[in-house]
Amino acid sequence: MPEVSLSVVVFYAFALLTVGSAAAVAFSSNIVYSAFALMGTLFGVAALYVFLAADFVAAAQVLIYIGGILVLILFAVMLTHRIANIEVSNRSVGRLSAGIVVGGVGGVMAYAVHHTAWPVVASLPDAPSTYAVGNGFLGPYVLPFEFASFVLLSVLIGAIVVSRKELKS
């Protein structure tokens, strides 16, 4: 029996989780199933982050993505799902053409991945990355950081504006 290290198995398990959930998102005919499958994908991605020693990012992923975005999506699904019927989730449009395009793009990218000699450089030590990320935010990336806060503010306002009902005056 070949020596398979535990990390490889775990990696493959989480990778399978991610990709499988993604496939469920893509191919499911029920939007609610897709939403929950998205949750699975996001969890899998967070696990992969941990694998890659990006613990802060993994935490942020779980918190924001799953705790925020996914909830929001679920809200939206629930708000619109009631009236809509199963036809909405039908994905009968252009499966073939989409498949071709995706296959093409995917193929090209796979080719790129395979045939590029990725330079293997010394990897980061396995250490908590929070401190480094924080330094990064307030160091070299302080400007984008501030801009991002602007963007969030405008998104906040924008979301309110977009979704409010017309006032009858």
Partner 1 sequence: MEGISLEHFLIVSLLVFALGLYTVLTRKNAIGILMGIELILNAANINYIAFARYGGASIDGQVFAVFVIMLAAAEAAIGLAIVLGIYQNFDSIDVEATDSLRY
Partner 2 sequence: MEITTVSYLRWIPLLPLLGAAVNGLGGSVIQRRFGKSAISAIAVTPVVLAFVLSCCAFLQLKGLEPEHRFLLDDVWRWIDIGTLKADVAFWVDPLSCVMILVITGIGGLIHIYSTGYMHEDEAYWRFFAYLNLFTFAMLTLVLGDSLLLMFVGWEGVGLCSFALIGFWWTEQINTTAGNKAFIVNRIGDFGFILGIFLIFWSLDAAGHGSVVFRDIQHHAVSLEGRTIWGLPVVVLATLFFFVGATGKSAQIPLYVWLPDAMQGPTPVSALIHAATMVTAGVYMIARLNFLFAMAPETLAVVAGIGAATAFFAATIGLVQNDIKRVLAYSTVSQLGYMFVAMGVGAYAAGVFHLVTHAFFKACLFLGSGSVIHGMSGEQDMRKMGGLKDKMPTTFWTFLVATLALTGTPLTSGFFSKDEILWKAFSSPHGNATLWIIGVCGAGMTACYMFRQVFMTFFGETRADHHVAHHIHESPRSMTMPLVILAIGSILVGYLGVPEFLGGGNRFEAWLEPVFASGHEMAAHASHDAGLEWTLMLISVVVAATGFLIAYVLYYRHAASPDAIADVAGGVPYRLLYNKYYVDEIYWAVVVRGTLLVSAICSWFDGAIVDGIVNGVAKLTVALSWLDGLFDNRVIDGLVNLIANRTYDLGSRMRRVQTGSINAYLYVIVGTVTIVLLARLF
155 is an interface residue for partner 1 by CB under 8 A:
yes
CB-count burial class (<10 Å; 0-12, 13-18, 19+) for 94: exposed
Is 84 near partner 2 (CB under 8 A)? Answer: no
- Within 102-121, which residues bind partner 1 (CB under 8 A)? 102, 105-106, 109-110, 113-114, 118-121
Binder among 1, 13, 40, 95 for partner 1 (CB under 8 A): 95
Binding positions for partner 2, 100-159, rule CB under 8 A: 101, 104-105, 108, 112
Euclidean distance between CA atoms 42 and 62, whole angstroms = 7
Alpha helical stretches, state H, 28-94: 31-51, 55-60, 71-81
Of 122, 143, 167, 169, which one interacts with partner 1 (CB under 8 A)? 122
Residue with Cβ nearer partner 2 (64 or 101): 101
DSSP string, 92-143: -SSHHHHHHHHHHHHHHHHHHHHHS-----PPPPS---HHHHHHHHHTTTHH
Binding residue for partner 1 (CB under 8 A) from 13, 84, 128, 146? 84
Q: Which is nearer to partner 1, 117 or 169 (CB)?
A: 117
Stretch 30-69: interaction string toward partner 2, x if CB under 8 A: ----------------------------------------
First to last CA, the chain: 77
User: Which residue shows structure tokens 């802060």?
Assistant: 56
Q: Which residues bind partner 2 (CB under 8 A)?
A: 93-94, 97, 101, 104-105, 108, 112
